[in-house]
Amino acid sequence: MNHLSNAFLVAAITLLTGAVASLAEEGMQPQVAIITGEFRDPRSREIGFQYDSAPARTTSRVILDEQNRFSLSVPTAWGTLVIGRYESGFPNLWQLLKFMVFDKRELFFFYVEPGDSLHIAVEESFFGPSYSFSGPGADNNRFVVEWMSEFGPFSLDYEGLEIADFKHQVDQRRQDQFEFLAEGREEYALTPGFVDYATAFIKYEWAQRMVSYPRHYYRANGRENKAIVPAYYDFLLDIPLADEKAIVTPDYDTFVDLALDWFAKMEAEDREQHKAPAMSKLLQLSQYGLSDSAQARFDSIYEKNNVPILGLSQRIDLSRYGLSDSLQARLDSSYEKAEKPKLSEQFDLSRLGASQAKQALLDSLFAQTRSYRSTYPSEDAPRVDTTDGKVVFHLAKEGQLEEFAKTRKLSEKIDVSGLGLSHSLQAQLDSSYANHKPRKLSDIVDLAQFDLSAAAQAQLDSLFAEPLGWTTWSFAQRYDQAKKSMEGRVLYWYLAGQVIKGFEGGSEQFELAREKWEDFEKINPHPEYTEAVAAALHKALRLRPKQPAPDFTLSDLNGQPVSLSQFKEKAVFLDFWASWCGPCISNLAFLRQIKAQMADQQVVFLNISLDESDSAWRKAVAEHGIKGVHVRAHGWGSEVAKSYNVTSLPEYYIVDAQGLIAERLSTVRDTDEIIATIEKSL
């Protein structure tokens, strides 16, 4: 392929000059990489790119010229991955990269460092794109293509996955990647900056999995892993919390979030003695006005009543069905003793071409490893095999595995045939099990005896939703903890990111984010971070109450266009969700209450799915009986998601009868307050 013409290079230099001038005005040292490229037989003339410009992530779009060429300038202070996709649907690629999931036919990715001038030639084929690279950093990118292909999706089944087996798998993956990197350094002329990036990438992928294990185990098993004592977290003492080389790697920010959560919950002296703090300290009960003696009484009651295993009767209220205590006990016993689901019980392996004999082999292997992974070789017929002694799904596209997932009912998980339950009662139990509620603190301790307000009790129940007291802190709490635990440039990068999260959150977070913003402006020595937070504030202000709700048009389940503007003179409840979003599905119980009480009002419940898969969207709507108007946007990069600043799910907006934003919500648990807000919007 021919290189770019002089005229095209002049255009690229003009773009670069503009970016440099902008940076110079901010008092920064210009740090820009240029990517030029050309496509043969591209699938689309418009291409989206996403890269981490720290603390924000930037999305840019380019239009190929008549010769299918493009130029992109990437301002960055570090080496970073640039992820591209044809504009048939631009997802949250950074989230995809966190799980190392990509569709080879749709995504392409490059690594650039400040000052690079990388040229890429992309040739499309049925089996996906192939690349050739030239210019500074070409060898880095040849290695990146091999690295991403070799270490693809890595999924663990946390049900029954104990610490030793878990650590063996994540330690092995880390070792394999470091060995692959060592071999790459022998074969390619990798730059020192790239080696640092790859090293941090591997190190913090491992660390993020380690610090996330307790909550993944809890969610998969419905109980805490009592083998996880505070000493488990000793690995946090051996891996830097502040590492400038890791700032733009995918897992580092999540690792810092969770590590700060843990540090905040453990007093310094407790950490040194490996002593778990009392629950009253973890929940910070002193802030609710409880005396030391009342807190001690609370701890005593909690220790006596804490149930380590979340049994069936803790998941669903069996008493509402008139079951005797003995029958409830038998159901709990059967549930506790139920065998872990086989792979063939989780997925329809026959649709993947697996014979009965092969399914038995896959079940046996899965029972040993408790893990599987997926690759996307663009094959017409999806299949599953046992490559290298591991279960591997070969799929045509990201998200396709959902199409083969089975829904396992309670009556399939445990044997209820000898309990004398009617078919109708079994169906009711199956429905309740599918929509079970998490255990609350008030299920264990009678909070009313401590003279706590209803609001305080509700807040404590919310905090207790996570196990072991390592509840997820708000962005503001993490902001304060980071100032105690971090230092240097990484501290200000992280603080800026937390304030941006606050501005991107619901209305209840906005004023608190403004307070942190005032503090950040005073202490931050890096102008680029101040600018990034200011941009997030400007964007958030457009979505504040009394601002016009951005209009959009999407197709419904019948393929008909639906616009927000067509519901004028009615209040509209916008629900951004997806079939794969656990919290979205968990919140359906609260939404049903709201919809039932507002059934006779002029309110439209407009459900906006961000599912990439049309079939997964339709299946979830039918399976969960979700009421309202249904439309689907194409992933995180859709215009409607960007217009409403949707960066996580679920997200909810209330739009009043005049088409103005009334409220932005991140939770729907307080149904009475939400109903009151909707009524005011009519």
Residue at which a domain ends, from 402, 421, 441:
402
Q: How many helices (H) and strands (E) does the chain have?
A: 25, 19
* pLDDT at 205 (0 to 100): 93
pLDDT digits (tens, 9 = 90+) for 334-378: 776 666 778 888 888 888 888 888 888 888 888 777 677 776 655
pLDDT interval class at 269 (50, 70, 90): very low
Residue 207 has pLDDT above 60, yes or no: yes
pLDDT band at 311 (very low <50, low <70, confident <90, very high): low
Provide the b/e sequence for 328-364 (b: ≥16 CB within 10 Å). Answer: bebbbebbeeeeebbbbebbebeebebeeebbeebbe
pTM as predicted: 0.63
413-418 long-range contacts, CB within 8 A, separation 24+:
413/335, 413/338, 413/341, 414/312, 414/331, 414/334, 414/335, 414/338, 415/334, 416/331, 416/334
Task: Show which of 125, 150, 175 is a domain's final residue.
Answer: 150
Report the distance separating Cα 671 and Cα 36, nearest Å.
52
Residues near 619 by beta carbon (within 8 Å), at least 6 away in sequence: 579
Cβ atoms of 230 and 266 within 8 Å: the answer is yes
- 3-state class (DSSP) for residue 269: helix
Q: Is the pLDDT of residue 7 over 50?
A: no
Residue 171 placed within a domain = no
Query: Is position 491 within any domain?
Result: no
634 occurs within a structural domain? yes
- Residues of the chain with pLDDT > 90: what percent? 23
Residue 667 lies in a domain: yes
Write down the pLDDT at residue 655: 95
- Most trustworthy range by pLDDT among 97-111, 189-203, 359-373: 189-203
As for how many domains the chain has, the answer is: 3
Using 50, 70 and 90 to split pLDDT, how confident is the model at 571?
very high
Tell me which range, 46-60, 212-226, 285-299, 566-580, is most confidently predicted by mean pLDDT: 566-580
pLDDT at 88: 46
Domain enclosing residue 607, as ranges: 553-681
Mean pLDDT for the stretch of residues 287-313: 73
Q: With bands split at pLDDT 50, 70 and 90, how would you rate the model's confidence at 89?
A: very low
The reported pLDDT for the residue numbered 664 is 87
Separation in Å, CA 310 to CA 72, 221, 313, 680: 52, 8, 8, 40
Please identify, among 150, 178, 199, the residue that sits at the C-terminal boundary of a domain: 150
- Tokens for 593, please give them: 């209450």
In this prediction, residue 670 carries a pLDDT of 80
Give me the helices (H) in 437-526, please.
Answer: 454-463, 475-485, 488-504, 507-523
Residue 157, in any domain of the structure: no
The pLDDT value recorded for residue 473 is 63
| Domain assignment of residue 599, yes or no | yes
With cut-offs at 50, 70 and 90, classify the pLDDT of residue 10: very low
Condensed to tens digits (0 to 9), the pLDDT of residues 120-158 reads 998 876 656 788 999 888 999 999 988 887 886 677 888
Name the average pLDDT for the chain: 79
pLDDT band (50, 70, 90) for residue 523: very high
* CATH code, domain with 650: 3.40.30.10
Q: Is 596 or 280 the better-scoring residue by pLDDT?
A: 596
Is residue 27 situated within a structural domain? yes
Lowest mean pLDDT among 35-39, 430-434, 465-469, 495-499: 465-469
Report the first-to-last Cα separation within the chain, whole angstroms.
61
| Whether 502 contacts 539, CB under 8 Å | no
Most confident of 167-181, 222-236, 415-429, 637-651: 167-181
**pLDDT cut 70: percent of the chain above it:** 79
Residue 200 lies in a domain: no
CATH number at residue 24: 2.60.40
For the segment 287-298, the average pLDDT, to the nearest whole number, is 83
Question: Residue 661 above 60 pLDDT?
Answer: yes
Band (pLDDT 50/70/90 cuts) for residue 110 is confident
